[in-house]
Chains A and B, each alone.
Chain A
Amino acid sequence: MFLDASGSAPMTNRTLEAFHAGLADGWADPSRLHTESRRARQLVDAAREAFADVLGTRPEHTHLSHSPHTGLERIIAGIFAARRGRDRIVGTAIERDATLLAAHHLAGGNVTTVPVDTLGHVDLDALAAELAVPDVALAAVQHGNHEIGTLQRLDQVAEVTRSANVPLVVDATASIGHGASPEHWDALVANPADWGGPSGLGIVALQPRTRWLPSWPEGDDWAPGGVFVPSVLAAAVALQERTEQLESTTERLRGLVARVRATAATWPGVDVVGDPDERLPHIVTFSCLYVDGESLLSRLDREGIAVGSGSACTTSTLEPSRVLASVGALSHGNVRLGLHPGVTEEQISRLLALMPRVIADLRAEAGAPEL
């Protein structure tokens, strides 16, 4: 069973059908003038309208990029270029690597990260203090955190950025498709793969007031070489499907997450991470004392259960998760579940029944003392 739906999720039949229809009808280059191209272009335009509708902006301010990563890079670069003379970028300590890498690359290391509390909420006073210095080009604040699930209070964040006249870039790559879209942002980036669309596509939404300049050679073309039309169509259909079922799915997944959090909290030496209420409905994270994260993932994989982890030994860099470090959570033995709409109560019951034995076995193997 797949419980790692964070950044990617299984595609539904309806999404797969849309993808196939896109291959059949949208194979032509949308930028040419003949009928076949026009058909492909209509599919992209309709999809862009659907994205704009969910994100709360207009289609002409909704851009497609080759990935959420490049979308973040481009909008950060575009706003930075339009804010000539302001050369510092401010972000939270728990932003994605893609955001902070883009910021460091552009600002030559002139990047300030604002701390978060133990639940993962950004320190608003510290943010206001940073933005009070008039050298800030933009502020990057996530909507929902991809590792611990905490939702930022973007209404309060936006009050701070607005009163400082600093554009607010919101990484919504973990939240769109899982709840109401955020209302407070100047630029927003979404990830279709996260809501069960194909990977290799990013969406950048802007407000009409948001000023940006292309800092890349292709001018206002956000996806040089074009986007893959079947992916765009499938992403729009997947989002529509999620949106139609949002209320019932969200409520059900929120219940499963609450059950996992409550149960995990009763296991000895287990640290449940993130805000209990103000959170994404489908992400749940906990860390197990004295347990090696890699062994835990392998053991669950042998049981046919796929989960994620932010523990150092499970990352490509062998560095502990910056997010877990920022909230002071235990970084080893970390388990992160991402629940897609197909996850059942029975699957969660099986995981919860299995976990205490797996944790006890791994602790015994490592020679850990009794808790």
Chain B
Amino acid sequence: MSADQAAAADASDVTVDATGLLCPLPIIELAKAAKGLPAGTAITVLCTDLAARIDVPAWARMTGHEFVGESRTDGEGVALTVRLR
């Protein structure tokens, strides 16, 4: 992850904790959180199901949002950040 992406992840407006959920549930939680939020909002999803590393970028591509990047969390999982468009 680049410094820019790290900064973007830090500046996330909304965090969705999908720890322990299996796909497609983390993506469903992300989509629910995204409903009604304005363009430009950054959302970070915390996941332990690593399929989300594939599916969060794919979700962003399919729904017209921007995938910002991923970083590791303190535990087993990853933090995946998107920016709404």
Contacts and interface: CB of A to CB of B under 8 A. Distances in A.
Contact of B23 (A313, A325, A329, A369): A313
Interface in B12-30: 22-25, 27-28
Contacts, number: 66
Interface stretch (A54-62, A209-217, A253-261, A288-296): A288-296
A330 B62 contact: yes
A329 B59 CA distance: 9
B28 A367 contact: yes
Interface in B33-58: 35, 49-51, 54-55, 57-58
Range for the number of chain B residues in contact with chain A = 20 to 34
A331 interface: yes
A227 B3 CA distance: 59
B24 A333 contact: yes
Contacts of A330: 54-55, 58-59, 62
Contacts of B49: 312
Contacts of A328: 54, 57-58, 61
The main secondary structure of chain A at its interface with chain B is: loop
A1 interface: no
A147 interface: no
Given A312-B51, A320-B54, A369-B31, A332 B61 contact: no
A269 B62 CA distance: 7
Contacts of A333: 24
B32 interface: yes
Contact of B58 (A271, A291, A371): A271
A131 B31 CA distance: 43
A289 B62 contact: yes
Contacts of A313: 22-23
Interface in A315-329: 320, 324-325, 328-329
Given A330-B62, A332-B23, A290 B54 contact: no
Interface string A69-84: 0000000000000000
A46 interface: no
Contact of B62 (A271, A311, A331): A271
A242 B24 CA distance: 39
B51 A331 contact: yes
B54 A324 contact: yes
A289 B50 contact: no
A329 B58 CA distance: 6
Nearest to B36: A369
Range for the number of chain A residues in contact with chain B = 20 to 34
Given A269-B62, A331-B23, A368 B31 contact: yes
Nearest to A371: B63
Interface in A336-352: none
Contact of B55 (A292, A331, A367, A369): A331
A258 B25 CA distance: 31
Contact of A332 (B27, B32, B57): B27
Nearest to B26: A332
Contacts of B61: 328
A366 interface: yes
Nearest to A288: B24
Nearest to B22: A313
8 contacts: A312-B51, A320-B51, A330-B55, A330-B58, A331-B55, A332-B23, A366-B24, A368-B31
Interface of A: 269, 271, 287, 289-292, 311-313, 320, 324-325, 328-333, 366-369, 371
Given A328-B61, A332-B23, A371-B63, 19 more contacts: A269-B63, A289-B24, A289-B27, A289-B63, A290-B24, A290-B31, A311-B23, A312-B51, A320-B23, A329-B54, A330-B62, A331-B23, A331-B51, A331-B58, A332-B24, A333-B24, A367-B32, A368-B24, A368-B28
Closest 9 CB pairs of A and B: A330-B58, A332-B24, A320-B51, A332-B23, A331-B54, A325-B54, A368-B28, A312-B51, A369-B31
